[in-house]
Amino acid sequence: MAYTIVTGAAGFIGSNLVRALNERGIKDVIAVDNLEHAGKFPNLVDCELADYFDKRSFLERLAEGAFDGAVDGVLHQGACSDTMESDGRYMMENNYRYSLALLDWCAEEGVPFLYASSAAVYGAGPEFREERRFERPLNVYGYSKFLFDQIVRRRLGEAGTQIAGFRYFNVYGPRETHKGRMASVALHNFNEYREHGRVRLFGAHAGYAAGEQKRDFVSVEDVIAVNLYFLENPDLSGIFNLGTGRAQPFNDVALAAINASRAADGKARVDLGTAVAQGLIEYIDFPEALKGKYQSFTQADINALREAGYDREFLSVEAGVERYFQAWAGTR
């Protein structure tokens, strides 16, 4: 029996990966996570697993040789993704050292290693291309991902097995409700509009008009599709941006969330001007705590991903957020 290991399996992207593997007939999945705070366990209730391990005991089992010769792929999604976390020691141990231990084991065993990096490695941009000269993280989370990517770069030429890292941009979609304040803009917009009848966005800042700060918002459906594409093509290695290649303003996300909700209630869709005029979108002062630590613009350069043969079109914010709303509303 060969297992597929998913770390961070109860989390947002990890649980979507487990479910997608199940849908492809892969049931021998070992889930690895930290359920010390158990709020995310519902993400795995509809999934089929061969076993579950706490993230700490799992490394011990690896070191003991419990899985030698029994694994055909590791999808490493586990990490602390809180961009406001100030405990650098914890961040580096949890994100960098843990990832390095898994990478070392996969290299020794000849096991494909697919892992989550982040667009946070780029900092404030303005170029988002997989090259060292464009990488300037603004927080210790971004630095933990950046440093691990540098190790991967050094090893790619000598690796005897697949190593593929994905720099996730702003991912949104089902199974993220446990993330609280770190959940996607789309989810916060759904909740705000349903509870208060309006969505609040940041006002003008750093040369951007109110609500016009732009990010590359990518649906978790697309993130899963890319991961599975690489899992099915083990000859592909490298570090790849995983975004749509299109920057869209926060206004677009808010408007898509509002219109998806209005459509579900049988109400007419509105345009941005109408939404602002009717108070459906409000703007607040940009927070002092985020100044100098905020990405006002991100847009993935996806040329490397396309050159690797991935040619599927990515969902737009309008289409992706509407599909997300339907899934979200169905679980409330």
Instruction: Report the C-alpha gap between 324 and 187 in whole angstroms.
Output: 9
Contact 35, 13 (CB under 8 A): no
Instruction: Report the C-alpha gap between 169 and 145 in whole angstroms.
Output: 13
**Active-site residue numbers?**
141, 179
H or E element at residue 143: helix 140-156
Q: Hey, how many other C-beta atoms are within 10 angstroms of the C-beta on 319?
A: 12
Burial of 263 (0-12, 13-18, 19+ CB in 10 A): middle
Assign 188 to helix, strand or coil: helix
H or E element at residue 317: helix 317-330
Q: Which two tokens stand for residue 307?
A: 């050159």
Phi, psi of 171 (to 5 degrees): -90, 140
